[in-house]
């Protein structure tokens, strides 16, 4: 029996009740789209939800029938499913282009790639996930559904579940529903919407395209939904290490499996020593053994070491594989995962063999920071502070007020720190993707790194954390700038005091390592930023303002190292 389109109600907006639920700001101005299989209750729940929120309600199928002047079943019979989906796509795009509404879609609508893209852009999607027995009971009472004609409902629905559930899982929200009354389900929908927080996104624009840095809580469990729109196929290889895997791999695998991603896992040994030619060779052999294709993505789950090594493998295997960075340390979230630098170490120094290879997406799940020891958080915080020192004095002031909270594990403050540091780096990388502006571009991100890399090499990789070495390097860079008359001593004192206050070695002596000035200088001479035999250092002129300075001869650098306690 077909519906009579002349009597199909079109619900208009009603005045917002005083007791209407308060929804989060992330839903402001956005439509709500209900998706799910036939019989999920999208229309009945949608009408009730619209009434509670004071929004217009629309049923996509009813709108299509109204526009076509005939039933959905007749449209299928006359034109076929492909033509029907094309019309459905146009109707949904038109409805979501206007003011916010609540929209119930047909069971196959969300399967269309273009429709999903429209919904992601203009609405918040919610999947009403209903068990098979409930669906069978509901749809068996309605013989007009085109996909059920001449077939057993249970068989059809089981097949549709297998096909559609991995795609429905890309919805922003998933709500498991049963046989409860529609009003009860609607209340649960409202509660879910009130609790929902959209992850925050930064778009990094480059000459060859762009990608998003996504920051938020619970992203590992949503990884498949977030990655499906940006990867060329639902197959990937997760590369992680033996420390991260027991903590976070299961959550990522569940998130990938929910949307039908096939994935393999390679677990590396933890630590800086893994960034070696030997480990790189073993890794690419394992990738080739898995018969990866050029559309198979590499997903780097871990800290900076995993990101660098997996990223370099992605850059070189089959001349380049899609890459996703999922950093699990604060240092990697605010710095190494963003910008496309990949590298491994050699006996001559750190990061001397590498490539620029931009990821398709960066997922910074702030929940992973809860598993980090305080020392690791402090090391990551050094790179956070660096962003303010290079080009945002206001952000450095924010760090002075909130640095202790970041290290203490305050989740919202950590998320803000990650977002602000990534926003700064995204701007710099967008203007100088391949570090081709040595005096005022991406090279400025190396503040403290020439000293820091030398400290790491002199101490032995892994004995001093990268962030600790960078903090000491920042202190030395400010001290050298003051000695050269570039930077006021009060700024240097302020920076070193802040680093020391949060437990970082703003003073080199706080590393408690016996270091040789000659040894450090020898490592610095091998740095990538050497040009024409001259050392080029990033030095501050003030907090928030840095530049590249050519240093020759090196007596002033030696004097700073000696004053800092080097032999």
Q: Please list, residue by residue across 317-341, b when 16 or more beta carbons sit within 10 angstroms of its beta carbon and e when fewer do.
A: beeebbbbbbbbbbbbbbbbbbbbb
- Does pLDDT of 230 surpass 80? yes
Place of tokens 């032995």: 460
What is the C-alpha to C-alpha distance for residues 211 and 441, in angstroms, rounded to an integer?
Answer: 20
Q: Is the peptide bond before 101 cis (omega within 30 degrees of 0)?
A: no
Please report which confidence band the pLDDT of residue 6 belongs to, taking 50, 70 and 90 as the band edges.
very low
Q: What is the rounded average pLDDT of the residues 105-129?
A: 96
User: The domain spanning residue 45 has which CATH number?
Assistant: 3.40.50.300
Task: Kindly report the average pLDDT of the chain as a whole number.
Answer: 91
Mean pLDDT value across residues 145-156: 77
**381, part of any domain:** no
- Amino acid 87: pLDDT: 87
Q: What is the rounded CA–CA span in Å between residue 107 and residue 128?
A: 11
Per residue in 302-316, pLDDT (tens digit) is 999 999 999 999 999
For residue 287, the domain's CATH number is: 3.40.50.1970
pLDDT at 509 over 70: yes
Q: pLDDT for 258-281, tens place per residue? A: 999 999 999 999 988 899 999 999
The backbone torsions φ and ψ at residue 301, rounded to the nearest 5 degrees and listed phi first, read -110, 105
Do 292 and 177 share a structural domain?
A: no
Residues 39 and 105 in one domain: yes
Residue 277: partners with Cβ closer than 8 Å, 6 or more residues away: 344, 346, 353
pLDDT, average across residues 142-152: 67
- Alpha carbon 315 to its chain centroid, in Å, reads 19
Is 415 inside any structural domain?
A: no
Among the candidates 145, 171, 195, a domain finishes at 195
pLDDT band at 438 (very low <50, low <70, confident <90, very high): low
What is the pLDDT at residue 9?
35
pTM above 0.85, yes or no: yes
**For residue 526, how far is the Cα from the chain centroid?**
34
Whether the per-residue pLDDT at 12 is higher than 50: the answer is no
Give me the pLDDT at residue 147, please.
66
The answer to whether residues 185 and 235 belong to one domain is no
User: Would 461 be classed as within a structural domain?
Assistant: yes
Per-residue confidence band for 212, with pLDDT thresholds at 50, 70 and 90 = very high
Confidence of residue 146 (pLDDT cuts 50, 70, 90): low
Cβ burial 130-148 (10 Å sphere, 16+ → b, else e): beeeebbebbeeeeebbbb
CA distance linking residue 124 with residue 26, whole number of Å: 9
* Per-residue pLDDT tens over the stretch 511-565: 988 999 999 999 998 876 677 678 889 999 999 999 999 887 789 999 999 999 9
Residues 258 and 284 in one domain: yes
Q: Residue 425's pLDDT band (boundaries 50, 70, 90)?
A: very high
Q: pLDDT tier at 7 (50, 70, 90 boundaries)? A: very low
Residue 394: inside a domain: no
Closest CA to 42 of 112, 163, 139, 161: 139
What is the number of structural domains in the chain? 3
Are residues 323 and 444 located together in one domain of the fold? no
**C-beta neighbour count of 349 within 10 angstroms:** 19
Of the candidates 372, 397, 413, which is a domain's last residue?
A: 372
Residues 463-489: tens digit of each pLDDT: 899 999 999 999 999 999 999 999 999
> Do 163 and 223 share a domain, yes or no?
no
Residues 96 and 206 in one domain: no
**407 within some domain:** no
Report, as an integer, the average pLDDT of 247-268.
98
Q: Is residue 385 part of a domain?
A: no
Does one domain contain both 191 and 205? no
- Residue 377 is encoded by which pair of tokens? 């958080």
Judgement on whether residues 39 and 68 belong to the same structural domain of the protein:
yes
Residues 34 and 113 in one domain: yes
pLDDT attached to residue 52: 94
* 214/143 same-domain check: no
Counting residues of the chain whose pLDDT is more than 90, the rounded percentage is 77
**Last residue within a domain, chosen from 195, 229, 244:** 195
Instruction: Answer yes or no: are the C-beta atoms of 95 and 103 closer than 8 Å.
Output: yes
pLDDT reading at 19 higher than 70 = no
Over residues 235-240, mean pLDDT:
98
The angle, 0 to 180 degrees and rounded to 10, between the axes of the packed helices 466-483 and 555-563 is 120
Q: What's the CATH code of the domain at 447?
A: 1.20.1090.10
Is residue 555, in this structure, part of any structural domain at all? yes
pLDDT value, residue 72: 80
Helices (H), ranges, 146-231: 153-168, 182-195, 223-227
152 and 262 share a domain? no
* Structural domain that includes position 462: 427-563
Section 356-385 average pLDDT? 96
Sequence-ordered list of residues with C-beta below 8 angstroms from that of 411, at least 6 positions apart, any chain: 217, 366, 367, 369, 370
pLDDT band at 29 (very low <50, low <70, confident <90, very high): confident
How do strand 200-206 and strand 209-216 relate by DSSP bridges?
A: antiparallel
**Residue 77 resides in a domain:** yes
């Amino acid at each position: 029996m077909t519906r009579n389109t002349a009597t199909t109600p079109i619900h208009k907006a009603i005045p917002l009740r005083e007791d209407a639920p308060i929804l989060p700001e992330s839903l402001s101005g956005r439509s709500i789209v209900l998706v799910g299989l036939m019989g999920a209750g999208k229309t009945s729940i949608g009408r009730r939800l619209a009434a509670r929120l004071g929004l217009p309600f629309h049923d996509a199928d009813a709108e299509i029938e109204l526009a076509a002047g005939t039933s959905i079943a007749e449209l299928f019979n006359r034109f076929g499913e492909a033509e029907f989906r094309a019309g459905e796509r146009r109707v949904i795009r038109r409805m979501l282009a206007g003011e916010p509404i609540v929209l119930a879609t047909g069971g196959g609508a969300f399967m269309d790639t273009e429709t999903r893209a429209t919904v992601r852009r203009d609405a918040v999607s919610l999947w009403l996930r209903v068990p098979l027995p409930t669906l069978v009971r509901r749809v068996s009472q309605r013989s007009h559904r085109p996909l059920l004609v001449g077939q057993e409902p249970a068989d059809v629905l089981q097949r549709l579940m297998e096909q559609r559930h991995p795609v429905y899982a890309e919805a922003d929200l998933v709500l498991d529903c049963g046989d409860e009354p529609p009003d009860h389900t609607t209340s649960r929908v409202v509660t879910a919407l009130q609790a929902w927080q959209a992850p925050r996104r930064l778009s990094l624009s480059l000459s060859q395209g762009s990608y998003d840095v996504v920051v938020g809580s619970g992203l590992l469990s949503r990884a498949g939904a977030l990655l499906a729109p940006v990867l060329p196929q639902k197959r990937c290889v997760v590369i992680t290490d033996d420390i991260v895997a027991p903590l976070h791999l299961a959550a990522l695998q569940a998130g990938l499996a929910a949307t039908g991603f096939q994935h393999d896992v390679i677990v590396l040994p933890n630590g800086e020593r893994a960034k070696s030619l030997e480990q790189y060779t073993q890794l690419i052999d394992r990738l080739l053994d898995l018969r990866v294709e050029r559309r198979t993505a590499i997903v780097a789950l871990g800290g900076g070491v995993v990101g660098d090594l997996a990223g370099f493998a992605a850059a070189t295997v089959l001349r380049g594989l899609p890459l996703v960075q999922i950093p699990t340390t604060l240092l990697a979230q605010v710095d190494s995962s963003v910008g496309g630098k990949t590298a491994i170490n050699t006996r001559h120094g750190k990061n001397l063999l590498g490539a620029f290879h931009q990821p398709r997406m960066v997922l910074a799940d702030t929940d992973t920071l809860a598993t980090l020891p305080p020392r690791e958080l402090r090391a990551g915080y050094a790179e956070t502070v660096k962003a303010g020192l290079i080009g945002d004095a206001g952000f450095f002031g924010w760090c002075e007020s909130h640095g202790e909270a970041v290290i203490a594990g305050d989740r919202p403050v950590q998320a803000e720190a990650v977002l602000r540091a990534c926003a700064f780096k995204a701007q710099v990388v967008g203007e100088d993707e391949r570090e081709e502006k040595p005096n005022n571009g991406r090279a400025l991100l190396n503040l403290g790194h020439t000293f820091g890399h030398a400290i790491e090499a002199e101490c032995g990789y892994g004995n001093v954390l990268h962030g600790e070495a960078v903090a000491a390097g920042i202190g030395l860079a400010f001290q050298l700038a003051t000695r050269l008359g570039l930077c006021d001593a009060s700024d240097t004192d302020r920076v070193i005091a802040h680093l020391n206050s949060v437990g970082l070695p703003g003073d080199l002596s706080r590393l408690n390592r016996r270091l040789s000035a000659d040894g450090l200088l020898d490592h610095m001479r091998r740095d990538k930023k050497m040009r024409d035999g001259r050392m080029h250092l990033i030095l501050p002129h003030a907090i928030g303002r840095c530049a590249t300075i050519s240093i020759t001869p090196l007596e002033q650098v030696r004097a700073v190292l000696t004053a800092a306690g080097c032999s």
